[in-house]
Amino acid sequence: GADARMVLDELVYDPDTGSGRAAFSVLQGVFVFVSGEIAASGPDQMVVRTPVATIGIRGTKVAGQAAAEGERNVITLLPEPDGSVGGISVTNASGTITLSQAFQTTLVTTALLPPSPPVVLPVAAANLLYGGVEKTAPRPEAEAPGAREREAAPEERGAAPEGEAAGEGVFAEGDPEGG
């Protein structure tokens, strides 16, 4: 929606070596982050910041709701289309938690308290929070013939509609109801 805000803080990439560094700040709104080669080059090479936490990406997908200090910031680890799961660390001034299971989620409301212990959300609950997240859930190969070979349509990739905040690997969508 119109209220999503994201800033590209840093983006350096060397295609010859597949290395680099990327940093994004999501100030408010719903986002889905899809990592790439930069995240695979090192655990501290790709970060997403919200007002109350920093997310370290290690080759995976992550969804979240960013909000101001004192408001609910939710961060969820998503599976890859093939069912594999990477990992993320969620850190603030009070602690760090690591998410390593599909749909594992933590809540952070303030930098003064550590991220909450993780819970695993049902796909339906993640979809309510982030809208359309079920498209990231793995499907059995029998249900998705040729899924790895075909290029997803923009609406399947979660591309941000015109006028919404979007950046390299990040799609901000305002709020979970799409407003």
| Cα–Cα distance for residue pair 130/86, rounded to 1 Å | 19
Cα 35-84-153 angle, rounded to 5 deg: 60
Q: Answer with the residue of higher pLDDT: 159 or 39.
A: 39
Per-residue pLDDT reduced to its tens digit, 50-104? 999 999 988 788 999 999 999 999 999 999 888 889 899 999 999 999 999 999 9
| Cα–Cα distance for residue pair 12/15, rounded to 1 Å | 10
Token pair in block for residue 87? 């990992």
pLDDT range class, residue 108, cuts 50, 70, 90:
very high
pLDDT range class, residue 17, cuts 50, 70, 90:
confident
Residue matched to tokens 């040729």: 146
The residue count of the chain comes to 179
DSSP state for residue 134 in the 8-state scheme: G
| Cα–Cα distance for residue pair 110/53, rounded to 1 Å | 8
Q: Answer with the residue of higher pLDDT: 149 or 114.
A: 114
Amino acid letter for position 150: R
